[in-house]
Amino acid sequence: MNILKKAPSIEGFHKFTYNILVITLIFYGFFLFRDIFLKFYPSGDENKFLKDLVTANELGIGQAVLDGTSMPYLFLTYLFNLIIDNPILSLKTTSLIVGVILFFVLVLFDKKILRISSQINTTVYLWLAYLIVTQATIFQGINDILLALFGNLFFISYLMIKSKKCKNVLLISTLLALMLLTRKMALTYLLLFFCLYFILTFFFNNIHFNYRNGLQLLFTFSFVFIILNSYSLIKQQTFSFDDKILSGPVNWAQWDYHNALLVDSGDQERFKHINIKETEIYLNEHGQNSLPNNFYEMIFFNPILTIKEFFIDCTVATKYLIRQTGLLIFPFLIFLLVRIKKVYQTKSITKTDFIYFYSLLYFLMICFIVITNIQPRWFLVFLPITILLISKDLTKLSKENQRFFSILNNLTLIIMCLPYLINKLNLFI
């Protein structure tokens, strides 16, 4: 009996793994901050946003908008640069502050609305912090974390708002417009949202899903987006986006698809891109029709390659999700099946069901596009909300099972960090 008393309780081990994960995340965040945030020269996509900010400083915001830019991100970075007077630092500071705001928005959503059990809520907050920090976009001068903030605010508003008053529709529509103004890729999130909404409305026409509300939201969003983009429309009759247009005759779809073809034939290593000059030579030799011109054409250009890449991308994306969220993918799939069964039996659907279905479908949709390097940051637009909803469902389990799963997930996330930390600690020492 004395031996049992001395044995560590599951609650004590839960606290232990929680504290170890906190320490792990602090070290992980420190190295990311040192290696990314404190490097004051641009790399990758940062060059595009730095160019936009420099244009705004030298020629005015209007010219930067006309050149094509992420307007919400440009306005924020421009304001910070008025204080900091360092363009690249302004970009990174904006991302860091937006990331912190995103975290507190998620915590507030739980505190005020979801109210996850006190047995695991602090652990869930740590999982959210882990997701945001290890994504590393908060340390970079790019607009992904701002898109994630607007996306999560949209889904929170969608879940919270019960009435269809004009001000509520306007709020949700504005968040959708800000998503699209931030990044053109937001079209993928918006298209899936409205398609899924109207499909579910066809089968379940109720207070949550009906054509009138869906069309009202769609038209209001379109109106708000046009108004916010009116300067570019008036000046040059086109929308202003942050298109990352490649210089020269090759576009992104052609470059990515050519890369996918070479990966499939074994002539190129996966997760690496060939020199764009090789794609230009390929087009000159085989003609412009030898490669798809846009991402829609990529899906149907070669059905066999699409199916093959779909399963490969599903495997890669699943690894990314486990790296980001640990074991949460498994309760997600279980709760998803339970919700599908409930919807089928009751012939009714809730907004929480919708988020579950949306999360799965976006995952499958993005894997269907033939690209050789899926980016885990693409899931950040909805993944934090999904994590909170999964965690809410976990509270239906017994307290012991909640803690047991939390322990397993904490240990998984710690293990995921070890290779990176060991490498950095060796270099640091």
Residue 24, C-beta contacts closer than 8 angstroms, at least 6 positions apart: 413, 414, 417, 421
Give me the pLDDT at residue 1, please: 42
pTM: 0.92
Q: Are 74 and 187 in contact (CB under 8 A)?
A: no
SS3 state of residue 290: helix
pLDDT(305) > 50:
yes
What average pLDDT score do residues 329-346 get? 94
- How far apart (Å, rounded) are the C-alpha atoms in residues 293 and 295? 7
% of residues, the chain, pLDDT over 90: 59
Give me the pLDDT at residue 4, please: 43
CA 311 to chain centre: 21
Give me the pLDDT at residue 429, please: 57
The per-residue pLDDT for range 150-195, each reduced to its tens digit, is 999 999 999 988 756 667 888 999 999 999 999 999 999 999 999 9
- How far apart (Å, rounded) are the C-alpha atoms in residues 385 and 128? 9
Q: Are 91 and 46 in contact (CB under 8 A)?
A: yes
Q: Highest mean pLDDT range out of 151-160, 262-271, 341-350, 362-371?
A: 151-160
Give me the pLDDT at residue 375, please: 87
Q: Over the chain, what is the mean pLDDT?
A: 89
% of residues, the chain, pLDDT over 70: 94
